[in-house]
Structure 1
Amino acid sequence: MNNFLQPPRLRIGEDTEEERRATWLELFYDLVFVVAVSQVAHNLKEDISLSGLLGFVVLFIPIWWSWIGTTFYANRFDNDDIVHRLLVGVQMLTAAAMAVNIHHGLGESSPGFALAYALGRAVLVVEYIRAGIHIPSARPLTTRYAIGFAIASIIWLISAIFPVPWRFILWGLGIIIDFATPLTARKFQVGLLPHASHLPERFGLFTIIVLGEAIIAVVNGVSQQKWDVLTVLSAIFGLAIAFCWWWVYFDNLGGTPIETARKEGKVGTVNIWLYTHLPLVIGIAATGVGVEQILLSPPTVALPDSQRWLICGSVALCSFAVAILHRYGVIRYCKIRSLYRFSGALVLIAIAIIGKGLLPVAVIALVALVSAVQVIQDLYQSRPTTRLADPEI
């Protein structure tokens, strides 16, 4: 520890910004979310239906937003003193408590889940108040964030004493306020845009966390089946899907949205980047569940409709989200790549619609093929001769 007791400091801005990497504390903090994502994915495995998918999304959003809150604070104000470490430690406890309460998170454990989320947001409010006290130039932003997140935290807190369905209505209201708070502070963000190298790395690390669920799914699925040709092929295709979307995402990742916003004085691109990552990581996490369900299905029996829709719909959601990121220049700006991503999503939906009666290996093979085409297209377009011919690459 370099600073035993130091006030928060501004880590961004053209005059103070230096190359940054994720700290050891941030990486340790991420471990709690590995468990939380695994737990919410387990819930979906137990109920592959529309209601199960809705429950998965409802529980996933607060988990992701908790991570986002701590990440954005550290991106701007991290000082690694003892107070910051202790506050992050408390946030880890709240995230762990959320993970513990996920299994029956929409039932008997929902009050505990709400209380854990509310406490985590309250700690974030304390962090922003502390930053505002010591950094006057950031006070308008920190005050707006502290007020908005505090209101949301209180709503989540009181939701624990309300019965269902009012409890979930309050959850919805609380998360809307949480999501809206950064949008209402856009004018205060212009001079305090996130760090251009640190934030893309942090988003990439969370993407790795959810991609890890697909790897775990393959291992779990194969370990519970007898080894035969169809099972092995399905496992290979499952790994290929994860590998392809790792390739597509990280080969196009960069700090472009922050740099563009800084040059143009606009924060809209950064907000598109932030909120579009939600469907992306939801899609990746659900893909892992879909892969495992295919591997656990009888290899010589047609894949059930719900499982076919899960794997095709999840990867289609990933493709659609990446298409938006391409289209608005949030990752590598390229209309051609955006078009391929949109087209890939439509093809996957078509497979879900017309693929009734297909064996599990056939469905996962088609999904892997669509994913591989995205990588092949990127490789083809990245050829030196193509890059010189097309300015949008």
Structure 2
Amino acid sequence: MNERGKRVSWVELYLDLVFVLAVGRLAHLIVAEPEMHSVWVALGLFFVLWWTWIGFAVLYNRHGDDDRTEHLLFLLGSVPIGVAAVAIEPAAQGDPAVFAGALAVARLILAVAHGDGGPDLLRGRIARAYLVSVALFAASILVAEPWVYVLWFVAVSQESSVLLRSDHAAGRGHRARRPVPEHPREALDPHHFAERFGLFLIILLGEVLVEAGQAPAESTATWIAIGAAMVLAAALWWLYFDSSAEINLRVLELSGGSPTMARTIFAVGHMIPSFALIGIAAGVGLLLEQEDARFGYVLVSTGIGLYMLGTRAFLRARRGPFALRLLVVIATFNLGRLHEVLSPDEYVVFVAAWVVVCAGLATQLDADGHVGPAEEVGAGEAAVAGADAPDRVGG
């Protein structure tokens, strides 16, 4: 990322390492019980873990100084997150007490970190929101399903709405509702924020490699499929980082580090494609293990389709008919039907080739329609204006 922005600290990378454990557990959860119920449970657990990670990312982005106090805070936070990662399996089996308790402790640490910021109204509101979440997660230990998940959803919804909301969002009039922050304390460092999400996507792509590496290589066909899985992960990296990562950064820069824009593009916008990578990893694992592989076909094709839609990496190419690109994405969702004609190993090779072609096509369309810096800035300004449009109409 650009050297002008705040750099990601070593302690943040350590915290990400703890989340690697959680990501692996979620993928294993789907592989162990390959059915839609497991996917929905994994998505629910990922949802609360995702916003826990975002809480620490926003904290460091706005207030991190990379000093010993900050190091201690993040290292303390890594402990309950690690416990929550280990508790994913019992939580998925109907015993969420340890998982919920650990995430309550993580939010208590976030509340203390924000509450220690002096007479800053924004930090005070965020601290209070996290204290409410602590109470809700703690209360969820005492209730039965489905109320556990209802309390989690309410907790995350109220804390996230405060965490990435402009300080003047509650004001009145047109100016009060613009996405560009008016006060420096509201703004996010675009480079740090974009890099944090990019690094998290790499963690998730790494899970595809982990699942491929765990496959029992008992034949030449399986060895070829393992290599194809590596190619698939690389092609998925290319789809996002070759263009989308830079565009997302540019738009956030143009918004002045707007919390509203950061929430739209990254916190919410990246959630489903990020989870899609877990589904792809689980699907690759099922296919290469060749046990219950039928569900693996669907996981991989649906995951790639959601990744392409969510990152807009393929659809946002500057040239070429949009309808054709949309048809390619729709076809991607239906690749799972090939279970009738392709073996699991052959299917992994096929989807890897498919994504490579899509990545190459997106790059070609982007290169053929290359625009200058002024036009890129104009496109970013249009995106910012688009986010502001509903407010202008409402005002």
Please tell me the TM-score bracket, short chain as reference.
Answer: 0.7 to 0.9
Residue of structure 1 aligned with 2:123, choices 131, 142, 149: 142
Partner of 1:114: 100
Q: TM-score, with normalisation over the residues of structure 1?
A: 0.82
Q: Is the 8 A contact 1:276 1:325 kept in 2?
A: no
Q: 1:232 to 1:90 in 2, by over 3 A?
A: same
Q: 1:380 to 1:172 in 2, by over 3 A?
A: same
Cα offset for 1:324?
7.8
Residue of structure 1 aligned with 2:296, choices 298, 301, 307: 307
Q: Deviations over 1:109-154 (max 9, x none)?
A: 41000010111011111111112x0xx5xx2321222222221221
Partner of 1:273: 265
Hey, what's the Cα distance between the residues in 1 that align with 2:87 and 2:35?
Answer: 21
Q: Deviations over 1:21-74 (max 9, x none)?
A: 211111112111111111121111111111010111111112221111101110
Q: 1:339 to 1:140 in 2, by over 3 A?
A: farther
Q: 1:324 to 1:176 in 2, by over 3 A?
A: farther
Hey, what's the Cα distance between the residues in 1 that align with 2:264 and 2:325?
Answer: 17
Q: Is the 8 A contact 2:126 2:159 kept in 1?
A: no
Unaligned 5+ segments in structure 1 are 1-16, 328-332
Residue of structure 2 aligned with 1:89, choices 70, 75, 98: 75
- Aligned residue identity for 2:219: W
Hey, what's the Cα distance between the residues in 1 that align with 2:342 and 2:94?
Answer: 38
Matched, 1:387 2:370: yes
Hey, what's the Cα distance between the residues in 1 that align with 2:72 and 2:314?
Answer: 35
Partner of 1:375: 359
Where do residues 154-169 of structure 1 align in structure 2 (5 Å cutoff)? 154-169=135-150
Matched, 1:28 2:14: yes
Q: 1:238 to 1:325 in 2, by over 3 A?
A: closer
Q: 1:122 to 1:338 in 2, by over 3 A?
A: farther
Partner of 1:71: 57
Cα offset for 1:287?
0.8
Partner of 1:181: 162
Percent identity between the two aligned chains: 23
Range 30-39 or range 346-355, more displaced = 346-355
Residue of structure 2 aligned with 1:296, choices 286, 289, 294: 289
Hey, what's the Cα distance between the residues in 1 that align with 2:39 and 2:31?
Answer: 10
Q: 1:272 to 1:184 in 2, by over 3 A?
A: closer
Q: CA RMSD in A?
A: 2.8
Q: Is the 8 A contact 1:101 1:113 kept in 2?
A: yes
Q: Is the 8 A contact 1:341 1:374 kept in 2?
A: no
Q: Is the 8 A contact 1:240 1:368 kept in 2?
A: yes
Q: Is the 8 A contact 1:337 1:378 kept in 2?
A: no
Hey, what's the Cα distance between the residues in 1 that align with 2:127 and 2:315?
Answer: 32
Cα offset for 1:261?
1.0
Cα offset for 1:296?
0.8
Matched, 1:226 2:209: no
Partner of 2:236: 245
Q: 1:151 to 1:334 in 2, by over 3 A?
A: farther
Hey, what's the Cα distance between the residues in 2 that align with 1:193 and 1:96?
Answer: 30
- Aligned residue identity for 2:233: A
Q: 1:341 to 1:159 in 2, by over 3 A?
A: farther
Q: Is the 8 A contact 2:42 2:92 kept in 1?
A: no
Cα offset for 1:238?
1.2
Q: Secondary structure at the match of 1:105?
A: helix
Q: Deviations over 1:280-323 (max 9, x none)?
A: 1101121111111111117xxxx854221111111111111011
Q: Is the 8 A contact 2:304 2:333 kept in 1?
A: no
Residue of structure 1 aligned with 2:311, choices 322, 326, 339: 322
Unaligned 5+ segments in structure 2 are 170-179, 380-395
Hey, what's the Cα distance between the residues in 2 that align with 1:338 and 1:242?
Answer: 25
Q: 1:241 to 1:73 in 2, by over 3 A?
A: same
Q: Is the 8 A contact 2:55 2:163 kept in 1?
A: no
Cα offset for 1:219?
0.8
Q: Is the 8 A contact 2:208 2:280 kept in 1?
A: yes
Q: Secondary structure at the match of 1:153?
A: helix
Hey, what's the Cα distance between the residues in 1 that align with 2:320 and 2:167?
Answer: 30
Hey, what's the Cα distance between the residues in 2 that align with 1:21 and 1:83?
Answer: 17
- Aligned residue identity for 1:236: G
Cα offset for 1:257?
2.3
- Aligned residue identity for 1:241: L
Matched, 1:362 2:343: no
Hey, what's the Cα distance between the residues in 1 that align with 2:14 and 2:197?
Answer: 15
- Aligned residue identity for 1:258: L
- Aligned residue identity for 2:202: I
Matched, 1:57 2:43: yes
Q: Is the 8 A contact 1:261 1:270 kept in 2?
A: no
Range 192-201 or range 117-126, more displaced = 192-201
Cα offset for 1:269?
3.0
Hey, what's the Cα distance between the residues in 1 that align with 2:361 and 2:264?
Answer: 24
Partner of 1:258: 252
Cα offset for 1:326?
6.7
